[in-house]
């Protein structure tokens, strides 16, 4: 008799079906004071499940795989590569309210570069999970550092949290900025300052 389940078995036993999720949303509609059987809401639980699959698809994606393919034929380019204004749509883990903003990502190649679309895809993978902005910023930077082995990484996110703008303190104009630096960007302020100048243009 097997006493210890492996991680895959545990995940499999905890998996919730689409039908179970739809039933949960029916209960939430009732809790709100709505009638899930009225015409306008009949398909709502199914639609919400479909939407949640899109909002949180990052749980089923591996950012390291996205960064596996790199290119060495760049004639020795060794200055920073910066991708600005990558759109961010995430959800806060405290209220499941949207986080909407932009990310700026930079790295200093160590002989090899990665396809530009891959930087945006990494941001997307981590964004499509329940998040705090601080952790999201660090996760993007850390996976780039671990996978590409660059000389440095910088990540900044500027976003609006609807848990602050639509509820609670309701400060509609408030935005949150987070920065995380690794390697040369952390050790050498000249790199950090150049990066900040570039993303502020």
Q: Domain residues of the chain, as ranges?
A: 17-55, 63-200
Provide the percentage of residues in the chain whose pLDDT is more than 90. 89
Q: How do strand 113-114 and strand 81-92 relate by DSSP bridges?
A: unpaired
Radius of gyration of the chain (CA): 21
pLDDT in tens, 37-59: 999 999 999 999 999 999 999 99
Compute the half-sphere exposure of residue 43: CA atoms within 13 Å on the CB side of its CA: 4
Average pLDDT, the chain: 94
Rounded mean pLDDT of 60-70?
A: 96
**Residue length, the chain?**
201
Count of C-beta atoms within a 10 Å radius of residue 53: 14
Which residue do the tokens 């600005």 mark? 84
CA distance 103 to 138: 12
Nearby residues of 155 by Cβ (< 8 Å), 6 or more positions away = 103, 104, 105, 106, 137, 138, 140, 141, 144, 179, 180
DSSP letter assigned to residue 196 = H
Q: Give domain 63-200's CATH number out of 3.30.1130.10, 3.40.1280.10, 3.40.190.10, 3.40.50.1360.
A: 3.30.1130.10
Predicted local distance difference test score (pLDDT) of residue 14: 80
Q: How far apart are alpha carbons 147 and 109 in whole angstroms?
A: 12
Q: How confident is the model at residue 12 (pLDDT cuts 50, 70, 90)?
A: low
Express as a percent the part of the chain with pLDDT over 70.
94
In tens, the pLDDT along 101-149 reads: 999 999 999 989 999 999 999 999 999 999 999 999 999 999 999 999 9
So which residues are the catalytic ones? 92-95, 133, 161, 163
- CA 73 and chain centroid, separation: 30
How would you write 44-86 as a 3-class SS string? HHHHHHHHHHHHCHHHHCCHHHHCCCEECCCCCCCCCEEEEEE
User: Of the CATH numbers 1.25.40.10, 1.10.286.10, 3.50.50.60, 3.20.20.70, which one belongs to the domain with range 17-55?
Assistant: 1.10.286.10
């Amino acid at each position: 008799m097997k006493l210890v389940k492996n991680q895959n078995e545990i995940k499999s036993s905890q998996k919730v079906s689409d039908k179970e999720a739809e039933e949960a949303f029916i209960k939430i509609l009732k809790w709100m004071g709505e009638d899930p059987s009225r015409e306008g809401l009949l398909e709502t639980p199914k639609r919400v499940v479909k939407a949640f699959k899109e909002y949180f698809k990052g749980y089923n994606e591996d950012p390291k795989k996205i960064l596996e393919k790199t290119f060495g034929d760049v004639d020795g380019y060794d200055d920073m590569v910066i991708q600005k204004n990558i759109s961010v749509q995430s959800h806060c883990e405290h209220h499941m309210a949207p986080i909407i903003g932009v990310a700026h990502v930079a790295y200093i190649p160590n002989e090899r570069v990665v396809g530009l679309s891959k930087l945006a895809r990494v941001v997307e993978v981590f964004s499509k999970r329940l998040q705090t902005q601080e952790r999201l910023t660090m996760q993007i930077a850390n996976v780039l550092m671990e996978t590409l082995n660059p000389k440095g990484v910088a990540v900044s996110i500027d976003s609006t949290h609807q848990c602050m703008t639509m509820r609670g303190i309701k400060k509609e104009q408030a935005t949150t900025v987070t920065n995380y630096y690794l390697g040369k960007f952390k050790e050498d302020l000249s790199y950090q300052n150049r990066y900040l100048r570039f993303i502020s243009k």
